[in-house]
């Protein structure tokens, strides 16, 4: 137990950084000012501790982990090829041989749903990460330097935000020209990432505006620490909590946008299995074969629910004021 | 107040110019052009050059935009390159369909969200609250088109065609031609499922937000005072708490309407509705430049006007907010 708290304290101090007293604290952990050290535990660490107690977050995390495993081992888990058609077994009802039935080309729905997880997860996660890697630096620069740089960056972000999200994503996909396979997935990722960049830029800019006025940042400047170092080492670590929450919930939104683009025929193109596309393709047969649209739809729902539950739990844990 | 509205109306202009210009440039950077589609497969480059010159497509993009803008100021939205129909006419025919869909879906959202949020907040941590928050979480996680498919399964297929799965019947007085179906009852039957499909997700978001702000408001001193002076629970909840809790909700509602304009594309596609959404997506895919511009213009206009209305609603909800 003691070891645990000691390692947490050390971690916390590494993040808070900046003051000269810190060096002394590290030299004598838990001895010099034990009470103060216990309270100085980083908010992120406190949050993660709270997260472990949240049932909904754990359920969400479990769903996400299962999905990741399914996506990674799709080849081994899928009973058949997701793209091989079999004209002798079209529109099979769910049975022991075909647990989720087959579509109009005789393709096994279970295998398609399993493989479809790849596109959803890969596009969902990578588009949000791409938006994060572009949006966060923009937001930091805008917030830290202010003035004209801020105005230029934020007006550009406002322009993107002025579009309804689906409209912009659709326009971008028409420009990128949707294709199948990895390239197709990269195009969808790019389109969704562009739409999401301003969300990070705004979020981070807001945090930076308040953090840069703090005394420890002033101290850094007085000590002659260079701006990039201040931004990366002293400001960024204090913005992590909202960034993490936005990212988790953002993955859920991105998965919905990807499915919607596929549903409109502007996502990854066939034969690459995609839940949105499968749902759309099978809506035409809904009258006689209702299950065909149900399974891809349910897959989207469960995936989004998993990320939403986890993200919600994270938000409650990292920002208890919002609970 | 009047000067404030006037100033805000003036600010709308640059935003709309910016959006329409960006769309203008984006559409012209799309591979392929409408002239090829217009002339069909058996066209010669000579014909294409001639037609491009006819539509002014050979001029620099900025010049083309200036021409479009110049005509727009005179009330001319241009004509579709592919069908030749005036864009404004098409937009006006389709606008009421989408407007009705969005207004009703927002109505569905509020009809679910307000009672659910009040029950959730007043009975925090009871089964009623847990039910409301769980249902809201489920609602947030289902894409609109999947709710639409589920509704189709239940009401169009399961219950023996209780509600029509596609098409449209116009409200009396909105029929654009001589040949369309007009009936209030028929219209309601057609709009119900799309409105629910679009509204449920918004209801979920609004429930979560309104519940949180209700929880905050009912703990304030003025609510305690209202109760202490002997007011019954109803005016305390509706007049004192709900009105104040609605302020952040109205902001989000404004944003949600912006989202609905985009999401309408999906729902209209699923239910084959002749609205602006299907007009927009068809125009974008066919690269019909003039139609896309018309769609972008009306969308941008709706978006900024709604934001203005949201700001003006604040003064009603909180008279302390006064714009000058």
Residue B160: per-residue pLDDT: 77
Contact criterion met (CB below 8 Å) for B81 and B55: yes
- Three-state DSSP string of B125-186: CCHHHHHHHHHHHHHHHCCHHHHHHHHHHHHHHHCCCCCCCCCCCECCCCCCCCCCCECHHH
CATH 2.70.98.10 fits B87-275+308-317, yes or no: no
The answer for B 7-66 residues in CB contact with A (under 8 A) is 15, 18-19, 22-23, 26-27, 29-31
- Assembly ipTM: 0.86
CATH value at residue A238: 1.10.3720.10
For the cut 60, the answer to whether the pLDDT of residue A283 exceeds it is yes
Whether residue B15 is predicted with pLDDT greater than 90 in this model: the reply is no
Ramachandran quadrant class, B321 (left: phi over 0; alpha: psi -120 to 50; beta: rest):
beta
Kindly report the average pLDDT of chain B as a whole number: 86
Closest by CA position to A197, among listed A263, A234, A257, A247:
A247
With residues binned 3-state (H G I as helix, E B as strand, rest as coil), the percentages for chain B, rounded to 5, are 75, 0, 25
| Whether B31 and A159 lie within 8 Å, measured CB to CB | no
Scan residues 179-218 of B and list those with Cβ closer than 8 Å to A. Answer: 212
Structure tokens at A44: 């992120």
Specify the 3-state DSSP secondary structure of A108: strand
Shortest alpha-carbon distance between residue A198 and chain B (Å): 15
Confidence of residue A15 (pLDDT cuts 50, 70, 90): very low
pLDDT digits (tens, 9 = 90+) for A74-97: 999 988 888 888 888 888 888 888
Q: Which of A149-163, A308-322, B211-225, B233-247 has the lowest mean pLDDT?
A: A308-322
Chain A residue numbers with beta carbons less than 8 Å from the beta carbon of B149 are 279, 283, 286, 293-294, 297
Comparing CA positions, the residue from B83, B122, B278, B147 lying closest to residue B210 is B122
Start-to-end CA distance of chain B, whole Å, equals 5
- Centre a 10 Å sphere on the Cβ of residue A297 and count the other Cβ atoms it contains: 27
B301 touches chain A (CB under 8 A): no
A290 neighbourhood in chain B, CB within 8 Å: 153, 157
Q: Do A305 and B137 touch (CB under 8 A)?
A: yes
Q: B123-132 burial string, b = 16+ CB within 10 Å, else e?
A: eeeeeebeeb
Please check whether residue A200 touches B, CB under 8 A: no
Closest residue in A to B255 (Cα–Cα): A164
Q: Residue B195 in contact with residue B104, Cβ under 8 Å?
A: yes
**Over 90: is that where the pLDDT of A37 sits?**
no
Closest residue in B to A279 (Cα–Cα): B146
- Here the tokens at position B79 are 């004509």
| B263 pLDDT higher than 60 | yes
Question: Of A159, A283, A308, which has the smallest distance from its Cβ to B140's Cβ?
Answer: A308
Chain B CB within 8 Å of residue A175 CB: yes
- Determine the Cα–Cα distance for residues B184 and B188; give it in Å rounded to an integer: 6
Query: Does pLDDT of A13 surpass 60?
Result: no
CB B207 within 8 A of CB B132: yes
The Cα–Cα gap between A130 and A173 comes to 17
Q: Tell if the CB–CB gap between B149 and A260 is shorter than 8 Å.
A: no
The closest CB to that of B285, out of A174, A279, A300, belongs to A174
Counting beta carbons within 10 angstroms of the beta carbon of residue B305, is it exposed (0 to 12), middle (13 to 18) or buried (19 or more)?
middle
Q: Is B79 on the interface with A (CB under 8 A)?
A: no
pLDDT for residue A39: 53
Q: Residue A95: inside a domain, yes or no?
A: yes
Partner A contacted by B143 (CB < 8 A): yes
Interchain CB contacts (distance < 8 Å): A and B = 104
Residue B254 contacts A where some CB pair is shorter than 8 Å: no
Interchain CB distance below 8 Å, A286 and B149: yes
Measure A179 CA to nearest chain B CA, in Å.
Answer: 13
pLDDT tens, residue by residue, B207-256: 988 998 899 888 888 888 988 998 888 888 888 888 888 888 887 887 78
Helices vs. strands in chain A: H and E counts, helices first: 15, 0
Round to whole Å and give the CA distance between A286 and B201.
Answer: 23
| pLDDT, mean of residues A219-234 | 90
A252 at interface of B, judged by CB pairs closer than 8 A: yes
Number of domains making up chain A: 1
**pLDDT band at residue B313 under the 50/70/90 scheme:** confident
Which whole number is the average pLDDT over A174-202? 92
Distance CA(B195)–CA(B36), nearest Å, equals 38
Q: What residue numbers bound the domain in which A292 lies?
A: 59-322
Q: Which residue of A has its CA nearest to B300?
A: A163
- For position B178, what pLDDT does the model report? 64
Mutation target vs A (from B146, B157, B248; most A CBs, 10 A cutoff): B146
Contact across the interface for A167 and B266, Cβ inside 8 Å? no
* Lowest-pLDDT range of A256-270, A285-299, B97-111: A285-299
Q: Flag if B23 and A171 touch (Cβ within 8 Å).
A: yes
The pLDDT, as a whole number, for residue B321 is 67
What tokens were used for B151? 């509704």
Residue A284 domain-assigned (yes or no): yes
Interface contact A164, partner B, CB < 8 A = yes
| Helix (H), strand (E) at residue B240 | none
Tell me if A167 and B18 make a contact (CB, 8 A cut-off). Answer: no
Contact: B281, A170; criterion CB under 8 Å? yes
d(CA A246, CA A322): 14
**Which contacts qualify for B84-91: CB closer than 8 Å, 24 or more apart?**
B87/B290, B87/B291, B87/B293, B87/B294, B88/B294, B90/B279, B90/B291, B90/B294, B91/B276, B91/B279, B91/B294, B91/B295, B91/B298
Instruction: Look up residue B13 and give its two tokens.
Output: 């202009």
Confidence of residue A8 (pLDDT cuts 50, 70, 90): very low
Rounded to the nearest angstrom, the minimum Cα separation between A309 and chain B is 8
DSSP B247-285: HHHHHHHHHHHHHHHHHHHHHHHHTT--SHHHHHHHHHH
What pLDDT is recorded for position A40? Answer: 58
Q: CA-nearest residue of chain A to B33? A: A175
- Kindly determine whether residue A164 and residue B258, on different chains, have CB atoms separated by under 8 Å: yes
Task: Supply A95's token pair.
Answer: 């049975």
Tell me the longest C-alpha to C-alpha distance in chain A: 78
Query: What is the pTM (predicted TM-score) of this model?
Result: 0.85
pLDDT of residue B304 exceeding 90: no
Per-residue model confidence as pLDDT tens digits over B152-179: 999 988 887 788 888 888 888 777 776 6
**How many angstroms separate the CA of residue A32 from the nearest CA in chain B?**
41
pLDDT of residue A7: 41
- The predicted model gives B74-103 an average pLDDT of 90
Contact B152/A305, CB-based, under 8 Å? no
* Domain regions of chain B by residue span: 87-275+308-317
DSSP state of A321: G
* Residue A24 reports pLDDT greater than 60: no
Neighbouring C-beta atoms of residue B293, cutoff 10 Å: 22
- Chain A residues in contact with B266 by the CB 8 A cut-off are 166, 260, 263-264
């Amino acid at each position: 137990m003691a070891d645990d708290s000691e390692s947490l304290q050390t971690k916390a101090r590494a993040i808070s950084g900046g003051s000269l007293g810190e060096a002394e604290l590290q030299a004598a952990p838990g001895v010099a000012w034990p009470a103060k050290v216990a309270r100085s535990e980083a908010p992120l660490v406190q949050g993660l501790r709270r997260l472990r107690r949240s049932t909904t977050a754990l359920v969400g995390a479990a769903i996400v982990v299962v999905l990741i495993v399914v996506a990674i081992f799709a080849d081994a888990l899928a009973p058949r090829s997701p793209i091989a058609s079999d004209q002798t077994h079209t529109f099979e009802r769910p049975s022991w041989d075909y647990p989720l039935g087959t579509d109009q080309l005789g393709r096994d729905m279970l295998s398609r749903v399993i493989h479809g997880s790849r596109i959803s997860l890969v596009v969902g996660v990578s588009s949000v990460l791409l938006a994060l890697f572009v949006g966060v630096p923009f937001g930091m620069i805008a917030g830290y330097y202010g003035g004209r740089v801020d105005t230029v960056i934020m007006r550009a972000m406002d322009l993107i935000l002025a579009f309804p999200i689906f409209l912009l994503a659709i326009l971008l996909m028409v420009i990128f020209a949707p294709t199948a396979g990895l390239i197709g997935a990269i195009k969808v990722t790019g389109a969704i990432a562009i739409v999401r960049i301003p969300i990070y830029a705004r979020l981070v800019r807001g945090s930076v505006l308040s953090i840069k006025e703090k005394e420890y940042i002033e101290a850094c400047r007085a000590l002659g620490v260079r701006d990039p170092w201040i931004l990366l080492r002293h400001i960024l670590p204090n913005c992590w909590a909202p960034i993490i929450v936005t990212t988790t919930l953002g993955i859920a939104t991105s998965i919905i946008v990807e499915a919607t683009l596929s549903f409109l025929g502007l996502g990854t193109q066939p034969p690459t299995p995609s839940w949105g596309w499968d749902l759309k393709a099978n809506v035409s047969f809904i009258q006689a074969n209702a299950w065909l649209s149900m399974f891809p739809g349910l897959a989207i729902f469960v995936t989004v629910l998993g990320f939403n539950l986890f993200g919600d739990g994270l938000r409650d844990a990292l920002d208890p004021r919002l609970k | 107040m009047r000067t404030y509205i006037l100033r805000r109306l003036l600010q709308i202009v640059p935003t709309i110019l910016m959006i329409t210009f960006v769309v203008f440039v984006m559409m012209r950077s799309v591979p392929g052009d409408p002239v090829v589609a217009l002339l069909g497969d058996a066209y010669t480059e000579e014909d294409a050059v001639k037609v491009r010159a006819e539509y002014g497509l050979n001029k620099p993009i900025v010049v083309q935009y200036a021409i479009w803008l110049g005509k727009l100021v005179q009330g001319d939205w241009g004509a579709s390159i592919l069908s030749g129909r005036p864009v404004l006419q098409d937009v006006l025919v389709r606008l009421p369909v989408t407007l009705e869909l969005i207004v009703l879906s927002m109505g569905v959202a509020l009809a679910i969200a307000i009672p659910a949020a009040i029950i959730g907040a007043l009975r925090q941590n009871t089964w009623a609250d847990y039910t409301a928050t769980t249902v809201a979480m489920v609602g947030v996680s289902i894409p609109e088109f999947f709710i639409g498919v589920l509704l189709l399964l239940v009401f169009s297929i399961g219950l023996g065609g209780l509600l029509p799965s596609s098409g449209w019947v116009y409200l009396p007085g909105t029929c654009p031609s001589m040949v369309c179906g007009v009936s209030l009852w028929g219209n309601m039957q057609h709009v119900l499922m799309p409105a629910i499909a679009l509204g449920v997700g918004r209801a979920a978001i609004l429930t979560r937000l309104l519940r949180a702000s209700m929880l905050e408001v009912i703990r304030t001193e003025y609510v305690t005072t209202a109760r202490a002076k002997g007011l019954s629970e109803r005016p305390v909840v509706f007049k004192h708490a709900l009105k104040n809790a609605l302020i952040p909700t109205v902001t989000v509602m404004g944003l949600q309407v912006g989202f609905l304009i985009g999401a309408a594309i999906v729902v209209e596609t699923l239910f084959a509705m002749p609205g602006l959404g299907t007009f927009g997506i068809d125009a974008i895919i066919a690269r019909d430049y003039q139609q896309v511009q018309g769609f972008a213009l009306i969308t941008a206009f709706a978006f900024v006007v709604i934001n203005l209305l949201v700001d003006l609603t604040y003064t009603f909800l909180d008279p302390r907010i006064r714009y000058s």
